[in-house]
Structure 1
């Protein structure tokens, strides 16, 4: 097993472009939820097992060179395919009245929370990873018709480059998580929107019909707030 504590470069770099012409590129294919991790163990397509242990401040990008065996002429390269990201711009929100700011942020948070969509907030921009079909996400945003909000879709790699490693992990690691609804003797549905930062907010939709005490697992969609 090969321990990888730092990347050697990227295939886009001139040095590695030159070396790759005379060597075999062995891909280490990472799922979207794996890519943000700084510690994992995985085997390349060529059968080389790697233990990746990067500093917390780092994460892997598509094309990162993880190992170079010059004698064997093999370069192990990370292959990452991040999905698109829904970009929600709250342009000019600071110019609104305090009441309008509260209403806009509450309605947006409630709408995202009801969909169980993870999100990262940076400045006045909200990033939501593609967790369902792009047309479905666009339709949901049009249905809500949020005021003071503009939306677009952008490539995951473009957005990851704007975020730090912690934010990338929060944004992409849980993007493929599927919310679960539990039904027993009592009809019970839970919708939760969580914002982890200086505040903590919940959006709930709880119809209850209980005849006995029992516990319910809860699903959570997490978001980080960064001023």
Structure 2
């Protein structure tokens, strides 16, 4: 078993990207909840047992280089599988009356709380990691027909660049467990997975600027504490 106590670098760094371009790379594949831990054991794709024991308060990131053998030109690199994320855009609410905008936000919060969906609110965007089937989330959003809102589904990796590290941990760290189809409401029909709400078609995510201090992490509905 190989003990890992420090992270050597990340493939996003130019020097590591070049170094690993011709290297023999073994992958340590972990999920988004394991990535929040500073101590765990895992087996790589090639069967190498690895024990992670890094400083508390630090976390493994996608692309981290855990081991590098310069002579053999071999490495162990982390791959984190992130779930898709539903993005709800609130910016259109600014053109509505304060009463309508407030009512819509309350209705959205109530619907998400009723479904126990974890969420991260940053600026005028709500990020919701998929904890149920995408069709269920589409049905919930379309059934409520929130005025002035549009939403879309994007890969989790596309969201990461627009979040501070602590925001990413809050968003994905609360979404562990298998994706399931459990809901607390019964809907008469499932509408097409179009992301279409009140005539606003979905658009690809282009990011939103903002400082970490403007972000609010909220777990809608009942929250669950997790410990390493």
Determine if the TM-score, normalized by the shorter chain, exceeds 0.5. yes
Distance 2:164 2:7 in 1: 17
Question: Secondary structure of 1:153's partner?
Answer: strand
Choose 41-50 or 105-114, whichever is displaced more: 41-50
Higher share of residues assigned helix: 2
Distance 1:128 1:7 in 2: 32
Equivalence for 1:220 = 223
**Long gaps (5+) in structure 1:** 179-189, 192-196, 204-218, 223-227
Tell me by how many angstroms 1:60 deviates. 0.4
Name the count of aligned residue pairs.
189
Deviations along 1:4-49, whole A, 9 cap, x unmatched? 4334120x555445443553212111112223x1513233424242
Contact 2:117/2:220 (<8 A) preserved = no
Distance 1:101 1:126 in 2: 15
Cα pair distance change 1:135/1:201, threshold 3 Å:
closer
Cα pair distance change 1:146/1:57, threshold 3 Å:
farther
Equivalence for 2:4 = 3
Tell me by how many angstroms 1:202 deviates. 8.1
Q: Which has the larger radius of gyration?
A: 1
Question: Secondary structure of 1:60's partner?
Answer: coil
Cα pair distance change 1:221/1:140, threshold 3 Å:
farther
Contact 2:38/2:60 (<8 A) preserved = no
Question: Secondary structure of 1:92's partner?
Answer: helix
Equivalence for 2:155 = 155
Distance 2:126 2:31 in 1: 23
Q: How does 1:139-154 map to 2 (within 5 A)?
A: 139-154=139-154
Question: Secondary structure of 2:33's partner?
Answer: coil
Distance 1:201 1:74 in 2: 41
Question: Secondary structure of 1:157's partner?
Answer: helix
1:41 aligns with 2:40: yes
RMSD, matched Cα: 3.3
Tell me by how many angstroms 1:113 deviates. 0.7
Equivalence for 1:214 = none
Normalised by the length of structure 2, the TM-score is 0.69
Distance 1:49 1:38 in 2: 14
Normalised by the length of structure 1, the TM-score is 0.70
Equivalence for 1:51 = 52
Contact 1:5/1:55 (<8 A) preserved = no
Equivalence for 1:127 = 127
Question: Secondary structure of 1:5's partner?
Answer: coil
1:98 aligns with 2:98: yes
Choose 105-114 or 12-21, whichever is displaced more: 12-21
